[in-house]
Amino acid sequence: MKRFILPLVIFLVLTGFLYKGLSLDPREVPSPLVGKAAPAFVLPLLHEPEKTFSPKDMAGKVWLLNVWASWCGACKDEHPVLMALSQQNLVPIVGLDYKDKREDGEATLRKAGDPYSLTIADADGKVGFDYGVYGVPETYVIDKQGMIAYKLIGAVTAQNLRDTILPLVAELQAK
């Protein structure tokens, strides 16, 4: 009887961890960057590669950094939501075209519409790496002081925009 107790306890503990793990939302993975300064960088603009952008250019503004790519299926799903958001003019959206060919990124925005205040090209993925990107799309809410206030893994949807992102943006803009 005693030799069955330890395996039973181990089985129950593992079952508990499995149950808890399956109930988690994979888009709610905590980011170690939330609450910290957004990593600094200088990248060329997608449409005008002779010009550059740095997060310092957004000092004093609340803004979104949306990491996307032409080859990303989920990015196509979130695109209409970003288009609608950009038309409301509530918050600047900076697009980071991640590990993409310039011509493919430009063609995607020409065809589907361009929701971004500006788009930057991260062809080699180094900036994405600094931000902890491990899949696209990902979206960051960055406050007036350049701190990352929130990270969304996965597509921006009407629901997470309404329930999480826009209330946070409004709160940060009011500060």
| Angle at which helices 102-112 and 73-88 cross, to 10° | 60
What is the pLDDT, as a whole number, of residue 134?
Answer: 84
- Taking only the tens place, the pLDDT of each residue in 41-90 is 999 999 999 999 999 999 999 999 999 999 999 999 999 999 999 999 99
- Taking only the tens place, the pLDDT of each residue in 136-158 is 999 999 999 999 999 999 999 99
CA gap 124, 168 in Å, rounded: 31
What is the pLDDT, as a whole number, of residue 53?
Answer: 98
Q: How many CA atoms lie within 13 A of 26 on its CB side?
A: 6
Helix locations, 2-161, DSSP H = 2-22, 73-88, 102-112, 126-130, 158-160
pTM to 2 decimal places: 0.83
Measured at the CA of 62, the angle between CA 148 and CA 69, to 5 degrees, comes to 70
> In the predicted model, what is the mean pLDDT of the chain?
90
Kindly tell me if the per-residue pLDDT of 40 is higher than 80. yes
Kindly tell me if the per-residue pLDDT of 162 is higher than 80. yes
Count of CB atoms within 10 A of residue 116's CB?
A: 22
Kindly tell me if the per-residue pLDDT of 31 is higher than 70. no
**CA-to-CA separations, 75 to 22, 27, 117, 164, in angstroms, rounded:** 25, 14, 17, 19
